[in-house]
Structure 1
Amino acid sequence: MLHAQGFVCNANYQKENLYCDVCPEDWPLIVQFCANDPKVFVQAALLAQNYCDAIDLNLGCPQMIAKRGHYGAFLQDEWNLLQRTILLAHKKLSVPVICKICVFPEIDKTEQKGPLSGAAFWEHIKAVWKAVAIPVFANGNIQSLQDVEHCIQDMGVQGVTSTEGNLDNPALFEGRSPAVWKLAKEYLDIMWEHPCPLSYIRAHLFKLWHHTLHVHQQL
């Protein structure tokens, strides 16, 4: 997720996050922005669209940083603002526009925030899929490849994404669950081949080891 205002104003931010070498395995590539101003979002998207396959507006982030910045799930009640944002993006961009959303407590309203993260409500996702004429991707409760298959079969959606599950086990979509030390070794080998900031490495290793270190606290 990139900050739209920062991307528009900071050339170094652009270079570090998108205007840099990517390996073929990174494609197809979707660039996600957080934004609360239609013009700023579209301006950032126009700068990014030649470097990706689609632009995503994040309306799903439930974290406190999103609340402080007034973006993510905390924009979902502002329907007029969101409509103006998406219509402007649809008009100006040459790549598809995607919105990642969180559910409302009411299933009918979801078809149209839940600021708290937790288990996904697949019935809400199914209701969205039935209510719209555009592709719908499901997200949530995906911890294995079997979950992916069940989600597509039960919901009828066009695709499935994973956030926390994929961070815990990057081999999820290959149907593998290797020991965390093997995943960490594989990740570090890739890191040496494709260097990245230390903060990224630290964050990924933290996610890989988090559950294991809760059990093996002596480590």
Structure 2
Amino acid sequence: MTSLSDDLQNLTITEDLQLHEPSSKTKHTISPRNPEHNPLYILKNVRKTQNRPAFVAGPMVRYSKLPFRELVRNYNTDIVYTPMILAREFVRNDIARSSDFTTNDKDRCVIVQVGSNNVEDLLKFVEMIHPYVDGIGLNCGCPIKEQVREGIGAALMSEPDLVASMVKAVKEKYGNTVCIETKIRIHPNLDETIAFVKKVEASGVDFITVHGRTKNTRSSQPANWDAIKLIKETVSVPVVANGDCFSLEDAYSIAEHTGVDGVMSARGILSNPALFAGYKKTPWAAVEFFWDLATSYGLPFRIIQHHLSEMLDKVIPRKSLKEMNETTCLIDMIDWFDTHFILKRRGDKGFATATEPSWKINREEAAHI
């Protein structure tokens, strides 16, 4: 694993991302990405060869970092997003680069999502990061008030000319060497959304992801699949549908209803990383695999705890889940798992193969702890 800031300090990265000592003659180099990892190739090829939509894990604040991205790829996920990165911070701050983005040679196909509201910052961001990712996703849909006040995320849905100018600037500079997507929400008046996507398509965007809610629609309200269908019928570029995908059956239903090229899940895949592999709930194998990845690559304790809390919500009793969430450090949480379960490590026979947890105490007893 390597952070981008390491390479920006004149370190050379080879195909397997091994770091070499810098020298005065060292030049910034990196092997080109495999074209089969290009999101456009995947969106078109999966439908053609497997007769299904591409399966996409959406961007999640704090939670779609490298260990989780690798986890979901083991369960039939084709394209995975990073959390949104603020372009203005990334291009100006080495600490932001180190903390916001890490990758390795398994991190493919990966799209980095960016929050930006001007051409200058976006171009600087793309210049820095594009060799390390398979696509750039411009966030035009995040409804968080702080982001909207900054003029990014859903605020851009009111700025179609600005969005078009940012996309056009990237495509004019990089052409087909950079795949760029816009992730949008719908407007209360769908005529505005149609005008928006037509303008963005004309600017050269490679594909569009549509969340079927407005920026003010609560997540408890159903996503508008008819609106996504209308957008798919309006543009010629591939479209990915986002909203209310909590199972493999949902993914197929959304694709059938809308005709889209891909289906994205965020909340659903956070709670069940094996969703696209057809599991109804998180298999125990995914829990063991996540433990291995999170401790090998490194994640803050509270993020690991939240991931496991989401993954185990339908797997272990509520009282046990509450007890796990009350642990206050990584060592205590590991001890808690080892007390209650047979938690296999990499190298153990049967590591990351079980569907159900193996309790060291009776499951019924665990419910009363």
Select which of 76, 81, 87 maps to 2:157.
76
Extract unaligned runs of 5+ from structure 2: 1-83, 197-212, 324-369
Is the 8 Å Cα contact of residues 74 and 115 (structure 1) preserved in structure 2?
no
Residue of structure 2 in register with 1:99 after alignment: 182
- State percent identity of aligned pairs: 29
Report matched runs for 1:132-143 at 5 Å: 132-143=235-246
Report matched runs for 1:44-193 at 5 Å: 44-93=125-174, 94-111=177-194, 112=196, 114-116=214-216, 117-118=218-219, 119-178=222-281, 183-193=286-296
Residues 145, 61 of structure 1: alpha-carbon distance in 2 compared, 3 angstrom cutoff: same
TM-score calculated relative to the size of structure 1: 0.87
- How many residues get paired? 217
Q: Between Structure 1 and Structure 2, which shows a larger proportion of helix residues?
A: 1
Select which of 104, 110, 113 maps to 1:22.
104
The answer to whether the aligner puts 1:42 opposite 2:123 as a matched pair is yes
How far did residue 192 of structure 1 move? 2.2
The answer to whether the aligner puts 1:3 opposite 2:86 as a matched pair is yes
AA aligned opposite 1:15 = S
Extract unaligned runs of 5+ from structure 1: none
The structure whose RCO (Cα within 8 Å, separation 6+) is larger is: 2
AA aligned opposite 1:36 = N
RMSD: 2.5
AA aligned opposite 2:231 = V
What CA distance in whole angstroms lies between the structure 2 residues aligned with 1:218 and 1:196? 21
How far did residue 195 of structure 1 move? 2.1
What CA distance in whole angstroms lies between the structure 2 residues aligned with 1:12 and 1:72? 23
What CA distance in whole angstroms lies between the structure 1 residues aligned with 2:160 and 2:191? 14
How far did residue 46 of structure 1 move? 1.4
After superposition, what is the alpha-carbon deviation per residue over 1:39-77, rounded to whole angstroms, capped at 9, x for unaligned?
111210111110011100001111223223221112211
Is the 8 Å Cα contact of residues 62 and 72 (structure 1) preserved in structure 2?
yes
After superposition, what is the alpha-carbon deviation per residue over 1:79-131, rounded to whole angstroms, capped at 9, x for unaligned?
22111111112112331110000111122222228222423211111111111
TM-score calculated relative to the size of structure 2: 0.54
Is the 8 Å Cα contact of residues 110 and 124 (structure 1) preserved in structure 2?
no
Three-state SS of the structure 2 residue aligned to 1:45 is helix
Three-state SS of the structure 2 residue aligned to 1:99 is strand
Residues 45, 168 of structure 1: alpha-carbon distance in 2 compared, 3 angstrom cutoff: same
What CA distance in whole angstroms lies between the structure 1 residues aligned with 2:270 and 2:303? 12
